[in-house]
Structure formats: structure tokens, C-alpha cells
Amino acid sequence: MRRPILAANWKMYKTTAEAEAFLERFLPQVAGVPDVEVVIAPPYTSLDRVGRRLAGSKVALAAQNVSPQAEGAFTGEVSARMLVDLGCRYAIVGHSERRALFGEKDDVVARKAGALLGAGIRPIVCVGETLEQREAGRTFEVLREQVAGSLAEVAPERGEELVLAYEPVWAIGTGRTATPEIAQEAHAFLRERLVDRFGPSAARIRIQYGGSVKPENVYALMAQPDIDGALVGGASLDPEAFARIVSFLRSGEKR
């Protein structure tokens, strides 16, 4: 019912030449992989080049951020309409690095998600607790608050266009993955919040897991009932590793 969605978040890595070299190796490896949606979010500087290379492939282009503003005197910002112009179908908002390092709060994330939907781009909205919050037993409270705040500007009938990404901050870039059971518990909780907010259509909203996903752990994560995809940082920089992640069903069959 929910098509798996595997997304690469390249963060501030790769020049345009490096991005092209990645695609040369990656695209042939995933051309025949059925029934999954593959998304690549390069830095802004490579969006145009990567978008041109992806045209006609099954891989979708995504941005890593967007301005909440439509246009105007906002030096250094990039609007949703500009992303449409480059062929973006998705954009990541609310990533924990933007929340922690750039002070983005739920209300800004909500405005960004609203701006994207207004332009016809699907937001990948990230939520997740810190280690401190988990150890203090506050995980569900934090997730509840982030979902309510970050999705505040998504109209009820647009819920299905969203992708929610559960990214426990303690698992991002640390090599420490949530166990499939811990991730599933959080995803089931998030699904309930989506049901509260969007009703029965929440059953069709995809929830990705993110946090040190690798070829070796993706299958067990994807086997959980409420894990519908992965948002991948470090391992997505390597074409072979990300191709193996995208082909997770094959790796499972081999076990």
C-alpha cells in the first residue's frame, strides 16, 4: 500500500563533478530495481546538473532546504518556485542539523512545508528526539510536539503528499542505529499522530527512518510494519552503498 521511499541526503558534500561521477556509477545499478521510489538531495549547487542527469530516470530530485518566503529581499535564500524550476519533486525540511545548528523551530519548518506544498513539491519533514530527551523519557512528548508544530500548515487533504522522517538525533552520523524495534515503536506512535491529524488517509503517508542506515541494517528496518523508507546521510555518498540500500529487498532474499 505504501511504496518504499529511499532518499539520499548528501548534506554539504560533493561538487558538481563529484555528483556526476556518483550518478555514472549509481544509476546503472538501480535501473532495474522495482517497486521503490529513489530520491537524491544534492546540495543546491548541483541541483541543476543532477536534475538534468536524472531526467528520464526513475530517480527523483530533492532539495535539502527551502525558504519559507515566496520571493523578495532574502539574500542567500532559495524559494520553492525556484526548486520547481530545477525539477525538484521533494525537499527536506526540519532536518535536525537545521534545527540544532541554524535554530529552526517547528513554526519555521511548518512554513517551509506549507511553501513547498503551495508550489507542488512534496516535503520530507524530519522529526526526532535527542539522546538527552530519550534518556529523560521524553521521546513521545517531543515527537508529539514536533509533529503538531511542523505539520501545522499542511491542509488536511494534502497529508498524503507528505513524507515524515523519524530521525533520532542520537543515531545521525554516529554509527549508532536505532534497533528495528525501537524505530518501529516510534514510527507506530508517529502513525497514530498522523491519524489524529489526517484521519484514515494517514495509512497512506510514508514514514522514513533515518540514522546510520547502511546496506547491512536496511532490510531489518524495512521489515517493520510502519517503516516505509529510509533517509540516508553518510552511506548515500557512496554509489555502491546507496545502490545496495535501494536494493534492500534483494539483500533480504539472500539471507
Nearer to ligand PEP, 13 or 189 (CB): 13
Q: Which residues contact 70 (CB under 8 A, 6 or more apart)?
A: 79, 80, 81, 115
Q: Tell the smallest beta-carbon distance from residue 40 to ligand PEP (Å).
A: 13
Q: Which is closer to ligand PEP, CB of 53 or CB of 95?
A: 95
162 binds ligand PEP (CB under 6 A): no
Is 149:93 a contact under the CB 8 Å cutoff?
no
Q: CB count, 10 Å around CB of 23?
A: 20
> What's the rounded Cα separation, in Å, for the pair 57 and 89?
13
Binding to ligand PEP by residue 213, rule CB under 6 A? yes
Smaller CB distance to ligand PEP: residue 170 or 198? 170
Would you count residue 208 as binding ligand PEP (CB under 6 A)? no
| Alpha carbon distance 91, 96 (integer Å) | 14
User: Which residue has its beta carbon closest to ligand PEP?
Assistant: 233
**Spatial distance between the Cα atoms of 162 and 90, rounded to a whole number of angstroms:** 9
Q: How far is the CB of 55 from ligand PEP (least distance, A)?
A: 25
- Does 43 interact with ligand PEP (rule: CB under 6 A)? no
Cell numbers 519533486: residue: 89
Q: Which of 123, 128, 159, 234 binds ligand PEP (CB under 6 A)?
A: 234
187 is known as an active-site residue:
no
Select the residue interacting with ligand PEP from 28, 120, 173, 252 (CB under 6 A): 173
- What span, in angstroms and rounded, lies between the C-alpha atoms of 231 and 124? 9
Helix H or strand E segment including 85: helix 80-85
Nearest alpha carbon to residue 93 among 105, 104, 109, 107: 109
Stretch that binds ligand PEP, among 108-116, 135-143, 204-212, 247-255 (CB under 6 A): 204-212
Residues of the shown chain interacting with ligand PEP in the complex, contacts defined by CB under 6 A: 9, 167, 172-173, 210-213, 231-235
Enzyme catalytic residues: 95, 167
